[in-house]
Amino acid sequence: MKNFLIVGSGLFGAVFAHEAAKRENKVTIIEKRDHIAGNVYSKEVDGIQVHEYGAHIFHTSNKKVWDYVQQFAEFNRYTNSPVANYKGQMYNLPFNMNTFNEMWGIRTPQEALAKINEQRREMAGKEPKNLEEQAISLIGRDIYEKLIKGYTEKQWGRPCTELPAFIIKRLPVRLIYDNNYFNDDYQGIPIGGYTKMIEKMLDHPNITVKLNTDFFDKRDEYLKNYDKIVYTGMIDRFFDYKLGELEYRSLCFETEEKNIGNYQGNAVINYTEAEIPYTRIIEHKHFEFGKGDPNKTIITREYPADWHRGDEPYYPVNNDRNNQLYAKYAKYAELAKKQDKVIFGGRLGQYKYYNMDQVIEAALNAVHNEFGD
Ligand code: FDA
């Protein structure tokens, strides 16, 4: 039996805690926020599950992960079908026959393909040097200017001409009338919310959770008193930024209660013009098909933001500079692992743009490495 300290109660920490406790180890989780569940945290307001840190839609083609989460929650059949608002004109996403019909009035896959190829010709024979050129080479100028340019510039805080081409590797084009955003086999939202799902993972007599507790307030004590630490916070912070700071993107959320039953008719509407400062509005009740108070709704505007020390680091910025710096931190992390003391995991601990299913898979791999079963 080992005495584990888990830093962070997000999905990585919760899965590891559950599996360690099940194998008769003692687990203490410390969480610096005043609630569990990390960024998947949801809170009930007016009978509506509010996704406090942005829209979270569970999707995966990993059957093992899908089966794994079923033991903690029943999932509804929510299918992500976001809509884009460009200067008041609505377009279906992802780019599919509905979008092409709305954009150009065309009806058949052959017409759509011909139109896209005609638009892409602008970049024929040229090597894209930035994100703008890359997007035009993949999908053409009309879709780039109306549905990609403003949104991406807001997300990254820089003009597309100054962003590297690799950010958009491919832009899948669907020549069918299908607005399902994800291509995955499984998709849904846990009924009753993500927090309930994490509560269930942590519901074990071997697990103790301490909220409002920051690892760095008593780091030396923790390192001395526990057999092993599972750390899911920022890896550069763990090593006192001694090799330099990794970059992150942050977000601001503006949540509002409205005295109407249905504000925008869809869970996710993206605002793709540069002049509107937010990237999207989430209307939470549509994740659960209108559950909750029929006369009220909760909406959240999402604003991308630069990250400075002390802000919430929502997204790692996986460009060359940061990936090289992370590789150096990862060498230190490897050393700590070899000394059998610290496991680094999750979006911040591994500096990876993990989706929920990927973070669960990573946690299960860490469990396998630790316990060998
Ligand atoms: P997470 O950040 O959730 O947990 C880390 C925890 O550690 C936090 O609770 C933090 O407070 C705590 N912590 C950090 N430092 C600490 C310290 N020093 N002391 C104590 N505690 C500390 N994925 C997906 O599949 N579908 C989706 O739709 C979305 N949508 C989405 C929207 C937005 C806006 C974001 C930012 C992310 C998504 N994701 C997503 C990704 C998803 O949120 C992500 O995969 C998981 O939440 C990652 O879980 P982790 O446990 O790694 O980190």
**Burial group, residue 112, by CB count within 10 angstroms (0-12, 13-18, 19+):** buried
Mutate-to-test residue for ligand 1 from 356, 357, 361, highest number of ligand atoms within 8 A of CB:
356
What integer pLDDT is reported at residue 338 of this predicted model? Answer: 83
The finding on whether 55 has its CB within 6 A of some atom of ligand 1 is yes
The finding on whether 304 has its CB within 6 A of some atom of ligand 1 is no
Alpha-carbon torsion angle 225, 228, 232, 237, nearest 10? 60
Q: 337-363: string of b/e by CB count within 10 Å (b at 16+)?
A: beeeebbbbbbbbbbbebbbbbbbbbb
What integer pLDDT is reported at residue 346 of this predicted model? Answer: 98
The finding on whether 257 has its CB within 6 A of some atom of ligand 1 is no
Mutate-to-test residue for ligand 1 from 9, 56, 184, 278, highest number of ligand atoms within 8 A of CB:
56
The finding on whether 232 has its CB within 6 A of some atom of ligand 1 is yes
Domain spans, the chain? 3-78+186-247+312-371, 94-167
What integer pLDDT is reported at residue 167 of this predicted model? Answer: 87
The interface pTM score, or ipTM, of the predicted complex is 0.99
Mutate-to-test residue for ligand 1 from 33, 39, 197, 307, highest number of ligand atoms within 8 A of CB:
39
113: CA distance to ligand 1 center in Å? Answer: 39
What integer pLDDT is reported at residue 319 of this predicted model? Answer: 87
Q: Domain 3-78+186-247+312-371 class?
A: alpha beta
pLDDT along the chain (373 residues), means of 10: 97 98 98 98 97 98 98 98 98 98 98 97 95 96 98 95 90 94 97 98 98 98 97 97 96 98 98 97 97 97 96 92 96 89 97 96 97 91
